[in-house]
Amino acid sequence: MTGLVDTQADDARINALPAAADMIALTPAQWSLAQRAQSIHVQDGKLLHPARYYASFDLSAAQPTPVLGWYDTWAMSNVANVPAASDMIAVAEKDWDDITAFRKSNGRGVQDGKIIDYTPPVPLSVQAQAEQSWIQQQESRAFVRGQKFTAEMLAYADAIEAIAEGTDTASTRLPDRPATIMS
């Protein structure tokens, strides 16, 4: 975009305007945001990013999914590496300006086209590593009591170890703890 013209202004020179086919009409909200814009990118007579502010996310991921990036597309000199507007969520100016509660560097996600508070799930391998601490506690208890792990508990410990070390990549959740731990 090469310039902004307020055709409603008292000093507007209508006869000096480019042809209508060479201009892009802005909504009042876009006009307001455009006053402080550095670069509004246009292609084929349309705004590439009709909103100024956007949040990007992984379109192929199950939702909720984390916000991956925040874009002020009208302040960027080049938007070649910015996702298409249709692949992002437009963000209102008041939300964009709220960097403490809305536009945070983490803790925000996307679900059903809305930006939400988001805490990513703990990876299964990390859950398994935490469970290994519990297994070690049980092992110490068994030793102090002069007992041994049951076959179920030994199989459970092996399964947890495989998940924690990454050799089991098929599991989607930790196995249930055995009912009987020591014999």
**Whole-number percent of the chain with pLDDT over 70:** 97
- Whole-prediction pTM: 0.67
Q: Which pLDDT band, with edges at 50, 70 and 90, does 111 fall under?
A: very high
Mean pLDDT to the nearest integer, 159-176: 95
What is the C-alpha to C-alpha distance for residues 8 and 165, in angstroms, rounded to an integer? Answer: 67
Cβ partners under 8 Å of residue 83, min gap 6: 54, 56
Q: Which pLDDT band, with edges at 50, 70 and 90, does 86 fall under?
A: very high
Strand partners, 90: 54
What is the C-alpha to C-alpha distance for residues 96 and 70, in angstroms, rounded to an integer? Answer: 9
**Whole-number percent of the chain with pLDDT over 90:** 71
Q: Between 171 and 16, whose confidence is greater?
A: 171
Tokens of 167: 């050799």
Which DSSP category does 20 fall into?
A: G
Q: Which pLDDT band, with edges at 50, 70 and 90, does 1 fall under?
A: low
Q: Between 31 and 138, whose confidence is greater?
A: 138
Burial class (CB in 10 A: 0-12, 13-18, 19+), 124: middle
Mean pLDDT over the full length of the chain = 91
Q: Which of these, 183, 173, 122, lies nearest to 147 by C-alpha position? A: 183
> What per-residue confidence (pLDDT) applies to 110?
96
Tokens of 182: 């020591």
Which DSSP category does 35 fall into?
A: T
Q: Which of 30-34, 70-74, 109-113 has the lowest mean pLDDT?
A: 30-34
pLDDT of residue 148 exceeding 90, the answer is yes
Q: Which pLDDT band, with edges at 50, 70 and 90, does 2 fall under?
A: low
Tokens of 80: 């070649």
Tokens of 111: 């679900």
